[in-house]
A and B are shown apart, each in its own frame.
Chain A
Amino acid sequence: MSPEDLAEALQGRFADVGLARGEVTVLVEAGAVPETLLWLRQHPDLAFDLLACVSATDGPGADPRFWLTYEMRSMQHHHRVRVKTGASGTDPRLPSVAPVFPTADWQEREIYDLYGVVFEGHPNLHRILLPEDWEGHPLRKDEELGGVPTWYVGARVPPVDQRGMA
């Protein structure tokens, strides 16, 4: 299905469907993510059978602070759709889709690890890339970057965001 046809087909089911640069985005409430993905997978004309990518973006100060995106791909119909939802900055949590899409297991763990977003109902939610005793979530925008001490006493390479370039 072409992106235009896909957007039109989805408008009947979802209130907020966007089409930009040939990519279709469906905006849903955080609680509705699992049922949305399942519906997209089961619909015979859509058949989004692969949850390709789960990704997060942090925007401190905005509401919602975190944006979660789920990229779906259909092996049969060769089209794609993005499902997008938000999570608050104070207590970011949303339902896990790992029980119905096993591929989300590690991808959600990675987001939990790097952003601190909690996926409720995830079978095994703990850090994946960083050590278990790591403090903080480094992909958050307000995380301190840290500098590098040098051999010169008292001298230090400042963090990349304080170097005054670009």
Chain B
Amino acid sequence: MSAADGREMRGASGALRDAATGELRQETMIINMGPQHPSTHGVLRLLLELDGETVVSCEPIIGYLHTGIEKNTEYRTWQQGVTFVTRADYLSPFFNELGYCLGVERLLGIEAPERAQIIRVLVCELNRIASHLVWLATGGLELGAVSVMLYAFREREIILDVFEAITGLRMNHAYIRIGGVVMDMPQEGPGKIRNLLRVLPGRFDEYETLLDDNPIWRERNEGVGVLGAEQALALGVTGPCLRAAGVPADLRKDIPYGGYETYDFDVPVQTAGDAYARYRVRMAEMRESLKIVRQALERLEHTPGPVMVQDPKVGWPSRLSVGPDGIGNDPDYLRHIMEESMEALIHHFKMVTQGVAVPAGEVYSAVESPRGELGFHIVSDGGHRPYRVKIRDPSFVNLQALPLMAEGYLVADLIASNASLDPVMGGVDR
């Protein structure tokens, strides 16, 4: 349609009428939403066909953030792969690292030491909360709940501070490595996490007081973007969106990895399958994550030991420490390899430049990310570099459900549906 062809005039009611016949115009309008739009969660373009305010059809067009992460991993060492995959879904970097490392470890036939496994669970669950907080913040903002945005980002910031204390970086940490984690929890780590455990429950209460029975919030979310269990499964939708449709599927319980079977937590489920149910599921999940963090912290206290496998042919050789500009080689370790031991230097050089050789074979390693099943299909030809790393990102697969959730609803509901789906374009496009 075109407003400039001079054939239409605006009637008294404000509707568009055909100038020749005086009849209401019936054709639909095609508009582009995005690729740069504040409520598309990144560079997502939606090709919408609208009949007035109603969405007739919706086609997501993706790829604007494609960075070739999978191809890149094929030309780096196995250890370097961690630094690439962590950047896929940038809101859940620890999960990317964990899924990749668990896969490579399965190929190598090794398991990370217990202390490393506990630290992995701990940072992943904190990451789940941080990711859900971004969902709450952006989703709230899109529906006009600006104060929720400010609150949720405030709390996310204190979690990112903890990440910075542990890994040296706020995002894209490359902290979980093949065979363990790159360095032990710093002295001040547990104290900072305990502070989180003290602060966060009250803050979650605040969000719920604000939103749970807020008439506008309910109006905008209830009955919007409904996705039933069968539809969700057929479309491959996993994570909170599937659990909000009544399917208690959670990889941490169903096919446990990384020691999750030893933690006590519940899998929150709702049955309505709408945006409000997804909100309730994610809020409950944040509390469950806190429960796991509390248990992990307790175990950490009486689980000493290394955080990296002791096999020198696999483990990362250097000792690291957090400096003013992030994580780096520990000064003592540098002195050791540069001044004291030629063998240590040779070993370090070999491991860092050439890396580990991984036995030939293929694995599929899946973890429960904040958005659902995050899978890594990893193929090795026995060499020092991955032959293939395929990332099954939940955002990519879940986004396929958006047309079904949006068509027939209002444009405003499309915003709520997309927000409740919580896609991260870095993961979608990889």
Residue in contact with A53 in the complex, picked from B63, B66, B364, CB distance below 8 Å = B364
Task: Select from chain B the residue with minimum beta-carbon distance to A159.
Answer: B75
Query: B residues within 8 Å of A by Cβ?
Result: 62-63, 66, 68, 70-72, 75-77, 106-107, 109, 233-238, 247, 249, 254-255, 353-355, 361-364, 366, 373, 375, 377, 379, 384-385, 387-388, 390, 392, 396-397, 399-400, 429-430
Task: Select from chain A the residue with minimum beta-carbon distance to B63.
Answer: A129
> What 7 A-B pairs have minimum CB-CB distances, sorted nearest first?
A103-B236, A53-B392, A55-B390, A129-B63, A78-B254, A55-B377, A160-B75
Closest chain-B Cβ to A2's Cβ sits at a distance in Å of 11
Which residues of the other chain, A, contact B75 by a CB distance below 8 angstroms? 145, 160-161
A71–B63 touching, CB < 8 Å = no
A166–B375 touching, CB < 8 Å = no
Which residues of the other chain, B, contact A52 by a CB distance below 8 angstroms? 236, 238, 366, 373, 375, 392
Residue in contact with A50 in the complex, picked from B238, B363, B429, B430, CB distance below 8 Å = B238
Task: Select from chain B the residue with minimum beta-carbon distance to A75.
Answer: B249
B353–A75 touching, CB < 8 Å = no
Closest chain-A Cβ to B273's Cβ sits at a distance in Å of 15
Task: Select from chain B the residue with minimum beta-carbon distance to A58.
Answer: B388
Which residues of the other chain, A, contact B249 by a CB distance below 8 angstroms? 75
Known: A73-B373, A103-B397, A105-B400. 4 other contacts (CB 8 A): A106-B396, A129-B62, A145-B75, A160-B72
Expressed in whole angstroms, the Cα–Cα distance for A56 and B62 within the complex equals 20
In the assembled complex, 5 residue pairs joining A and B whose CB atoms fall closer than 8 Å, in A order, are A53-B375, A71-B366, A102-B400, A129-B429, A166-B354
Closest chain-B Cβ to A65's Cβ sits at a distance in Å of 13
B353–A129 touching, CB < 8 Å = no
List residues 72-90 of chain A with CB under 8 A from any CB of chain B. 73, 75, 78-80, 82
Closest chain-B Cβ to A51's Cβ sits at a distance in Å of 6
Closest chain-A Cβ to B99's Cβ sits at a distance in Å of 12
